[in-house]
Amino acid sequence: AKTRHFKWEVEYMYWSPDCIEHVVMGINGQFPGPTIRAKAGDTVVVELTNKLPTEGVVIHWHGIRQLGTPWADGTAFISQCAINSGETFHYRFKVDRAGTYFYHGHLGMQRSAGLYGSLLVDVAEGEKEPFHYDGEFNLLLSDWWHKSVHEQEVGLSSNPFRWIGEPQSLLINGRGQYNCSLAAQYSDTNSSQCKLRGNEQCAPQILHVRSNKTYRLRVASSTALASLNLAIGNHKMVVVEADGNYLQPFKVNDLDIYSGESYSVLITTNQDPSKNYWLSIGVRGRLPATPPGLTILNYQPTSASKFPTSPPPVTPPWNDYHHSKMFSKSIFALMGSPKPPTSYDRRISLLNTQNKIDGFTKWAINNVSLALPPTPYLGSIKYGLRNAFDQKSPPENFPDNYDVMRPPINPNSTTGSGVYMFGLNTTVDVILQNANALSDNVSEIHPWHLHGHDFWVLGYGEGKFSAKDEKKLNFKNPPLRNTAVIFPYGWTALRFVADNPGVWAFHCHIEPHLHMAKLLYKNRGR
Ligand code: C2O
């Protein structure tokens, strides 16, 4: 195993992610940031210098469990203080397992500002993946706003509340097109055809393939808000990896991916090689107001500038939740993967609600909205600073008679900074419970992401979780993930073993939701 050193500088810079120039948060003059590529067992060292003139920064290594290195998790006010302007911090951690990961800022809305990049881990020397492929492509997906994150933040924390709205563009590897479309010629709307030479910052990265080969597409979503669906014209995909864990391979026409998730899919280039094909991403779960993100699958030696003969694949209707549920429910662990313990030591239920606190719109869990303390939890606990955060644990459930199908009767909630404490090696079940938001007939998708661990996704269901749902849970081959979605008005059941001492965030990966407070949890070794 090797140690891989990286020297990074985070800075604001001018960039044109969607052909319109804006300020983005970049690393070493690049957007997205440089890709980290390592082998399982390697140690990664990132020497991060903050060149932002007036704000702190941290970077979280999303999906890396940080076994024994909780100080390197990169969560502001949780694992560390923000790195001040002009300062340098060393992140040092082991990438213990092959897989598709990414990294991103974890302070304020710095992820939305463009602070993200890919982290790809290959199998260790001499090891093999449980599937074969001839080549691979990496697709890091994101969404992009023209409004600065500072303006977005002010709106979210104003009274009256101002929502950020839908993204202007969807980006693939930081590239999208706002003022034109790559596929205008197929559409009846009057978007204009892009005239790109290919060397622009917003020009799509074309996927050049040869005929009759198998390619691995690594797909990760760092979106601030959008749930996405990815499809490739004429090509089916075989899903083989999720969040660094191997899956029982299954075939799909299109792939749903929520913020914080990653997948590997295999495609076989068995279509007419004299043609090119669209790869398209579109918005799910919210009424889309954003055109699809596009690139081209180019069969060499066919010219990459030859247009596909048919229009880009159409994203399933945004509110076709049945389609999304069918996809989520077809994900199973590859045979031989670690199985969950057969029983739990502790079960907590987390009700997700939208609330009001002093007139401000917030998200809360069991009626408490997390307010991060100024002193990072990890240090407070290590040094026994008892006044640094609420010592009382947050509630472990919610009133039995809470009606998840209606807006809260009392919309008011409170803030708190307590954490759930788990004894080392306890098995914890978490029931994530969705509910109606503040307005009638609204319940949103929330992709929940756990730091420092993977969890088994035991099942999904409708309405309020109850005893009769128990027997629907999958203990045989549930997938291990670090992110799992709760569908509108539904529940999702997770199980994990608290085997990695530290303080770990567990939160909805939607950036404005996170920013509107909602985060939790845990600790305690030995
Ligand atoms: Cu990728 Cu705490 O998040």
Domain residue limits at 227: 135-328
Does 57 share its domain with 109? Answer: yes
Query: Residue 94 pLDDT more than 80?
Result: yes
Let me know if residue 128 belongs to a domain: no
Let me know if residue 104 belongs to a domain: yes
Let me know if residue 510 belongs to a domain: yes
Q: What is the pLDDT of residue 515?
A: 72
Does 255 share its domain with 184? Answer: yes
**Nearest protein CA to atom 1 of ligand 1, as residue:** 62
Question: Closest Cα partner for 522 from 336, 394, 400, 368?
Answer: 394
Query: Residue 448: how many CB atoms within 10 A of its CB?
Result: 26
- Give pairs for 394-397: CB < 8 Å, separation 24+: 394/365, 394/366, 394/368, 394/418, 394/419, 394/420, 394/520, 395/366, 395/367, 395/368, 396/348, 396/349, 396/366, 396/420, 397/348, 397/349, 397/351, 397/366
Distance 17 CA to ligand 1 centre (A): 22
Let me know if residue 337 belongs to a domain: no
Question: Closest Cα partner for 327 from 234, 216, 233, 239?
Answer: 239
pLDDT, tens only, 386-433: 999 999 999 999 999 999 999 999 999 999 999 999 999 999 999 999
Q: Which atom in ligand 1 lies closest to the alpha carbon of residue 451?
A: 2
Q: Which atom in ligand 1 lies closest to the alpha carbon of residue 483?
A: 1
Question: Closest Cα partner for 341 from 424, 428, 420?
Answer: 428
Does 162 share its domain with 72? Answer: no
pLDDT, tens only, 147-196: 999 999 999 999 999 999 999 999 999 999 998 999 998 877 778 999 99
Q: With contact defined as beta carbons under 8 Å apart, do 521 and 448 qualify? A: no
Does 116 share its domain with 195? Answer: no
Q: Which atom in ligand 1 lies closest to the alpha carbon of residue 505?
A: 2
pLDDT, tens only, 6-61: 999 999 999 999 999 999 999 999 999 999 999 999 999 999 999 999 999 999 99
Q: What is the pLDDT of residue 524?
A: 52
Does 149 share its domain with 27? Answer: no
pLDDT, tens only, 457-492: 999 999 999 999 999 999 999 999 999 999 999 999
**Nearest protein CA to atom 2 of ligand 1, as residue:** 505
Average pLDDT, the chain: 95
Confidence tier at 523 by pLDDT (50, 70, 90): low
Q: Which atom in ligand 1 lies closest to the alpha carbon of residue 222?
A: 1
Lowest mean pLDDT among 33-42, 240-249, 506-515: 506-515
Tell which of 293, 328, 363 closes a domain: 328
Q: Output the domain CATH number for residue 270.
A: 2.60.40.420
Let me know if residue 372 belongs to a domain: yes
Average pLDDT value for residue range 73-84: 97
Which residues surround ligand 1 with Cβ inside 6 Å? 60, 62, 104, 106, 260, 449, 451, 505, 507, 509
Q: With contact defined as beta carbons under 8 Å apart, do 378 and 71 qualify? A: yes
Question: Rounded CA gap, 5 and 405, in Å?
Answer: 51
Average pLDDT value for residue range 116-140: 97
Distance 353 CA to ligand 1 centre (A): 20
Q: Which atom in ligand 1 lies closest to the alpha carbon of residue 514?
A: 2
Let me know if residue 334 belongs to a domain: no
pLDDT, tens only, 320-352: 999 999 999 999 999 999 999 999 999 999 999
Tell which of 273, 300, 328 closes a domain: 328
Tell which of 122, 156, 184 closes a domain: 122
Let me know if residue 60 belongs to a domain: yes
Does 163 share its domain with 269? Answer: yes
Provide the number of structural domains found in the chain: 3
Distance 106 CA to ligand 1 centre (A): 7
Distance 302 CA to ligand 1 centre (A): 41
Does 398 share its domain with 263? Answer: no
What is the interface pTM, i.e. ipTM, of the complex? 0.99
Q: What is the pLDDT of residue 526?
A: 37
Q: Which residues are CB-neighbours of 402 under 8 A, at least 6 positions away? A: 351, 435, 464
pLDDT, tens only, 352-368: 999 999 999 999 999 99
Does 118 share its domain with 145? Answer: no
Q: Which atom in ligand 1 lies closest to the alpha carbon of residue 519?
A: 2
Query: Residue 518 pLDDT more than 50?
Result: no
Cα R_g (the chain), whole angstroms: 22
Does 172 share its domain with 139? Answer: yes
Distance 448 CA to ligand 1 centre (A): 9
Q: With contact defined as beta carbons under 8 Å apart, do 507 and 483 qualify? A: no
The total number of residues shown for the chain amounts to 526
Does 443 share its domain with 324? Answer: no
Distance 509 CA to ligand 1 centre (A): 6
Q: What is the pLDDT of residue 362?
A: 92
Question: Rounded CA gap, 126 and 286, in Å?
Answer: 45
Does 146 share its domain with 65? Answer: no
Distance 71 CA to ligand 1 centre (A): 15
Confidence tier at 450 by pLDDT (50, 70, 90): very high
Does 146 share its domain with 255? Answer: yes
Q: What is the pLDDT of residue 520?
A: 52
Let me know if residue 154 belongs to a domain: yes
